[in-house]
Amino acid sequence: MRGKKDFMLILAGAAAAGVFVFFLSVCLGHEGFGIPEDAILRLRMTRALCGAAAGAALAAAGVAYQTVLANPLADPYLLGSSSGAVFGIAALSFFGISRAGVLFPVTAGICSCLTVAAVLKIAGRSFSKKNIILSGVAVNFFLSAAVIFLISFRKKEFFSLIYFMMGDLGETRMSLISASVIIAAAGSLFLFYKSRFLNALAAGKTLSRQLGCDWKKESLIALIAASVVTGAAVSVSGTIGFIGLMAPHIARKFTGSDARFLLPVSASTGAILLMLSDLAAKNLLFPQEIPVGVVTAMLGAPFFLWIYRK
C-alpha cells in the first residue's frame, strides 16, 4: 500500500512531466531545439495549450466513464461522446455560425451528453462491457455519416470539417480556446471534487449504496460532467481518439484506482500524451502535417486490443 506521501510525489512528478513536455512542445521544432522567434513561439504555445487542455480533459472524462460504467474500455471516442460533440459543431457550421466563443463548447457538450444517453439506452440496462462499446461504435458510425451529410451542403467548409473529424490542434481563435479551456477545467475540477463519490461508484451499485451514495444520481452527474468536458475538448481539438482510454490506464499503474489521485495524474498523462502525439504529427513530415487524431489512433488502437485481451 502506498502512503499519502507517495501519492503526492507521484502527483508532483506527473505535473513536472507535464510542464516539461509543454516546454518541449514549445522549444522543439523542425530546426532543432531552442526558443523560437516571437510569432512561432506564440503559435507553439497556443498549440501546446490546446493539446494540454484537450488531452487532460479527455483523460479526466475517460476516468469518469471507466469508473461509472465499470468498463475499462470506455473512452469518450469509443462511447460516441466525441462524435456527438462533432455533430453539434457540424450542425452549427451548417447554419453558418462561425466557430468562435462559448456557443461551440456548450453545444458540443449538450450533444455529447445526448449521445452518451442514447448509447447507454441502446446498450440496455445491464451495461455489459461489450454492449456499451458495440452500441458506441454503431452510434459513432451513424453520427459520422450524419456529419458528412450535413457538411455536404456547405462545400466551403467540407474539407476543414473532415480534417477536424480526424483531430487538429491548429486552433488559434482565442475566444473559442479560452471558453473551451474554462469549461473543460471547470468540469474536470468538478469531477475531482466528486472523486470521493467516484470511488464509491467504483465499488459497485450495491456497495456504493451502503456507503451512503445515491448511485443513480451520482452516476448521472458524473456522466454529464464527463460529457460536457468532452464537448469542450472536442470543440478545440476535433475528434481525438484513445487519449481518454490510454491515459487512465497508464496513470492507474502508478496510483491505483483511488479517483482522488487517479484523476489528476490521468489528466497530466493525457496532456503529455496529446502534446507528444502532436509534436510527432507536426514534425514527422514537416512542413506537411498529419492530423493528430491519426497519431493517437495509431498508438491507441493496439492499446485498446491489449486492454481488451487482458
Partner 1 sequence: MRILIFLSAFVIASGCSRHKAPEGLRVVSLSPGITEIIYAIGAQDALYGITSHCTWPPEALREKESVGDFSFPSMEKIAGIRPSLILAAGDGQGKAISHLTNAGYNVRVFHPADISELFRHIIEIGRLTGKEKKASELVADMKKDIRSIPKVKNKSVFIEVCPQPLIAASDKTFLSSVCEIIGLKNIAVFKDSYPGVNAEWLIRQKPDFILLTGSSEEEFRALHPYIKNAKLLRPSDIDIIVRPGPRITRGMREIYYLAEDAEKKQ
Residues forming the site for partner 1 (CB under 8 A):
29-30, 36-37, 39-40, 42-44, 100, 156, 159-160, 163, 168, 170, 172-173, 282, 286-289, 291
Q: Quick one: how far is CA 207 from the chain centroid?
A: 29
What is the separation, in whole angstroms, between the first and last Cα of the chain? Answer: 23
Nearer to partner 1, 47 or 194 (CB): 47
C-alpha cell at 195: 472523486
Segment 9-13 long-range contacts (CB within 8 Å, at least 24 positions apart): 10/254, 10/255, 10/261, 10/265, 11/261, 11/264, 11/265
Closest CB 137 distance from partner 1, rounded Å: 27
Q: Quick one: how far is CA 49 from the chain centroid?
A: 14
In angstroms, the CA 127 to CA 69 distance is 7
Nearer to partner 1, 80 or 170 (CB): 170
Closest CB 99 distance from partner 1, rounded Å: 9
Residues β-bridged to residue 29 = 32
Closest CB 264 distance from partner 1, rounded Å: 31
Nearer to partner 1, 172 or 210 (CB): 172
Nearer to partner 1, 198 or 276 (CB): 276
Closest CB 269 distance from partner 1, rounded Å: 26
Closest CB 286 distance from partner 1, rounded Å: 6
The single-letter code of the amino acid at 32 is G
Sign of CA dihedral 41, 43, 46, 48: negative
For helices 4-27 and 243-255, angle between their N-to-C axes, nearest 10 degrees: 140
Nearer to partner 1, 104 or 190 (CB): 104
Closest CB 153 distance from partner 1, rounded Å: 12
In angstroms, the CA 164 to CA 99 distance is 12
Nearer to partner 1, 181 or 213 (CB): 181
Nearer to partner 1, 119 or 281 (CB): 281
How far is the CA of 65 from the CAs of 55, 81, 230, in angstroms?
Answer: 15, 10, 11
Q: β-pairing, 28-29 with 32-33?
A: antiparallel
Closest CB 31 distance from partner 1, rounded Å: 8
Contact 303, 246 (CB under 8 A): yes
